[in-house]
Structure 1
Amino acid sequence: MFRAKHPDQDRRVALKVLHDNLGSISSLKRRFEREARVLAKLDHPNVVYITDFGVVEGHTFIAMELLEGQTLEQLLEDQPIDLDRALRITKQILAGLAFAHGRQVVHRDLKPANVYLCKSADGGDQVKLLDFGLAKMLSIDDLSQDGTLTRKGRIVGTPAYMAPEQITGVSLDVRADVYALGVLLYELLADRRPFLSERRSELLRAHLLEPVPPLADARKGLAVHPELEAIVRKALAKDPAHRYADATEMLAAIEALPLHPAKIVKQRREGDRHRTGATSEIISSNERRAVSEAAGLPLEPAGTAKTQTASASAPGPLTPPANVYGHGDPREDLSLRQNAAQIRRELSSRPPSPAAPRRRGSRGPSTPMLYATALALFAIAAVLWLTLGRS
């Protein structure tokens, strides 16, 4: 990620560039394009705003609004969060997520590291959802342009926030995001996630089978209104049918809560924050099978998992088509450029988003300089690797 200046819009942007060493990998190109295509559809105050996407001299890039602040993950690393503030942040996350769900987009990797906190005009938090690179469209038109995200039964995700159906691969819809948000809200209130384990397989098994500990038992001195406890438990239901249908429904439930529905005797954290399972990982088909069999649940290959909407009136399950391009296929580059042109046309029809606040005096290098810097760093890394290899 680089800080740059958009030549046409005269504004600072964050420039996300696919590394030259990875540009020939078709699956990464498709993921990059997928993120741009998803963000181009999501014009909402609580979703990071994309300003441009394209391919220049073989370099694939996404330009998005430049944010100043910190992720929710960074905030939680420092200290427990005030409970009223936690609910205000949760509402904004749900608002952005509800907008995405309304456009048939599932985030699939919702966690504190993908929630960015800027300062709003009144000095509060302005939430921005990040990293829709794992997002999946639910419409037929979008599925026809995307391939499956995984191969040979592997899945990509963050174990600590992964819904049971993501683990087994049986089904996937917007209620997987509801589950992840339930984990996140539990963590904000209890200052720990509902399931803790040093081993990933045990953590995945807990999502499949273990009951959710009461919030009051998870944090000493915490008192939670029964309605708030019920919201968290419904979001964390093992069966998607027992959860909220989408983020809109969960947001309505939280907004109906009485004032100050959670209180804590003391805010101080006891011990270190548990980090196991909080980063995105590739989970093999063998591990998924072992965990599912231990839980007595069926396992579907990740590449054949059905993707469907939560609405009872929606059409039947949709199966994403298989990838038709191989590694480094020239047709992939042509398709990427064509799709980039289409996305840029979509962006040009959108009203400009207000610039995010930035620090005074901050200046970013030009785009060509950024490319040159990236190439130089790659060359240095290659020389070091060769030198160390010979020694």
Structure 2
Amino acid sequence: MSSPHRRLQQLIRQGDLLVGRYRIGRRVGAGAYGMIFSAVDEITTERVAIKAIPPADSQSSETAIGRFQREMKVVRALVHANIISLYDFGRTDDGLIFMVLEYVDGETLDKVAHASPLSLEVASDVTRQIAMALEVAHNAGVIHRDLKPANVMLTPTRYGGYRVKVLDFGMAKVLSRLEDESIVDLTREGIAVGTPRYIAPEQARGLPVGPAADMYAVGLLFYEMLAGEQAVRASSVEDAISAHVSRKPLELARLSEIDPRAHGVLRALLEKDPERRLHSAAALLSALDRLERDQEVVPALNISDVRDGALGEQVDILASVDPDEFKRKRSAGEVVGGLFGRGDALELDYDAYREHAPRERDPVARRRQLRFDRFLRLPRSTAEWAEVWLSLIAFPMAFLMIGAQASELDHLLRLGVSVSPFVLALVWSLASPSSDWSGSLGRLTWLLSLVGAGVAHALGPADLAGAMARDPAWFARGIDHLAVVQWVGGVATWFSHHWSTLVQSLLQSASR
């Protein structure tokens, strides 16, 4: 684990109460210098995400802090339904710098698209929402510069589409002042930033970038949604960069399998010359409108004229680049040193969101949703589903054992005592302000059931074994004429007799 991560784990841990308000949950993401945690705002009981980095102790970490602080200012200024919301930010007494972000319910674009390619209609709608987010950013003078699948979250809707959130403006280029505050640009002209597979040609060359650079990345995402795989399938950084800056057009392996209606938009977005590319988010939205009306966006591609799925044309501005030069490089460091200069292309990604909760804008609806989430806490992993099944086994066992030890009580009181593990788990789950799985009914039920079973044995294993053998189906008294009750009683009898025999044999062995 890197030193920044070790330092960060000393400053923020699961269960901590950050600045007296945010109860830290488990880690859900990490980057080069920072981490992302789930958390609960104990004032509003709302689920949030905490993105944090440790205090600076070197030039590199000072640059990371600069990017972090700039991202806070940028996101605070960009308010849109398709851009992640910033709720709060600050610095602790230990120097920890953090921001409190909206907790997004969904998966990253690549996980959705690679599981199954999206239809043209759904992919177009996702692209439209990305474009609307970028239009707000570009109008504010902000170029994202690091648009990639990990920075686009998709939340399924009831109508078969997705709600989109654009994340991570840590690499953003700021062309204007936001809220009357100047934001320092931490890169220099001639230094490229971004992710090699999704970087625009002019961006990879370290040339000045504008909205067209983001449009190129949107084109790569649009193709990935339609094809179910990345457009640039390079095995190294140098090969990925070479694919963008080379005079050769992009090779799109599955272009022929994509709906021909999308070819015009893809061509307009993936032009290597920024002067010929769709130049703005507004232009892309117009092109998508025309696509939706089945009107021609730009001259459609003739697949027979496209060699091996190639898309794009030779670009004069890049004519001086020798594509073979990149293939002679042996390390990513050589490419970064040769193309990127000596800049710090630092990334802090939202790579590992696993459990999320939507932020409802209406306070009443939000409170209802939070109560609903706390009650259900649906399992989201194989381990959590296993705990649900374990609770379905552990609770009936504890019920029979507690009931056997409480045989002297009135029938209704005996029932009440026997179901106490489940009742306690339910009350505990509902009373917990957190919606983490650690407070779920599924986990608490089996834990408290084991405790109840242990107490039943501790009160007298011999008495327990005798009571289970004598009256195993005591709970069915009065309703044993029902077929389902008779079946349940039979299962309980089988288990109680076998468990009684096991306990008695263990006691006999221990007494010898």
**TM-score range for the pair, normalised by the shorter chain length:** 0.5 to 0.7
2:357 paired residue number: none
Contact 2:220 2:231 in 1 (8 A): yes
Structure 1 residues 283, 365: closer, same or farther in 2, change over 3 A?
Answer: farther
- 1:338-377 correspondence runs (5 A): 353=361, 360-361=373-374, 364=434
Structure 1 residues 6, 182: closer, same or farther in 2, change over 3 A?
Answer: same
Residues 325-355 of structure 1: per-residue CA shift (max 9 Å, x gap)? xxxxxxxxxxxxxxxxxxxxxxxxxxx9558
* CA positional deviation for 1:180: 0.4
Contact 2:108 2:151 in 1 (8 A): yes
Structure 2 gap ranges (5+): 1-35, 301-330, 344-359, 378-432, 437-512
* CA positional deviation for 1:78: 2.2
2:88 paired residue number: 52
Alpha-carbon distance in 2 for matches of 1:183, 1:11? 35
2:135 to 92, 98, 101: 98
Structure 1 residues 232, 6: closer, same or farther in 2, change over 3 A?
Answer: same
Alpha-carbon distance in 1 for matches of 2:57, 2:223? 37
Alpha-carbon distance in 2 for matches of 1:190, 1:301? 34
Rg (Cα) greater in structure: 2
Contact 1:168 1:288 in 2 (8 A): no
Give the letter for the 2:248 counterpart: E
Contact 2:142 2:172 in 1 (8 A): yes
1:28 to 64, 67, 73: 64
2:115 paired residue number: 78
Alpha-carbon distance in 2 for matches of 1:149, 1:3? 31
Number of residue pairs the alignment of both structures matches: 285
Structure 1 residues 235, 354: closer, same or farther in 2, change over 3 A?
Answer: farther
1:238 aligns with 2:272: yes
2:284 paired residue number: 250
Specify which structure has the bigger relative contact order, considering alpha-carbon pairs within 8 angstroms and separated by 6 or more residues: 1
Alpha-carbon distance in 2 for matches of 1:250, 1:302? 34
List structure 1 segments (4+ residues) > 6 angstroms apart after TM superposition: 21-24, 355-359
* CA positional deviation for 1:63: 0.4
Q: CA RMSD in A?
A: 3.4
Contact 1:175 1:240 in 2 (8 A): yes
Structure 1 gap ranges (5+): 263-281, 292-299, 304-351, 367-391
Structure 1 residues 290, 135: closer, same or farther in 2, change over 3 A?
Answer: closer
* CA positional deviation for 1:301: 5.2
Contact 2:236 2:332 in 1 (8 A): no
1:109 to 146, 152, 159: 146
2:400 paired residue number: none
Identity %: 33
Contact 1:150 1:156 in 2 (8 A): no
1:229 paired residue number: 263
1:13 aligns with 2:48: yes
1:287 aligns with 2:321: no
Q: Which moved more, 1:181-190 or 1:75-84?
A: 75-84
Residues 43-81 of structure 1: per-residue CA shift (max 9 Å, x gap)? 100001110111121221110111122111221332322
1:212 aligns with 2:212: no
Alpha-carbon distance in 1 for matches of 2:293, 2:102? 34
1:334 paired residue number: none
Q: Which has the higher helix share?
A: 2
Structure 1 residues 354, 242: closer, same or farther in 2, change over 3 A?
Answer: farther
Contact 1:93 1:129 in 2 (8 A): yes
1:145 paired residue number: 183
Contact 2:37 2:49 in 1 (8 A): yes
Alpha-carbon distance in 1 for matches of 2:62, 2:206? 23
1:173 paired residue number: 210
Alpha-carbon distance in 2 for matches of 1:205, 1:13? 40
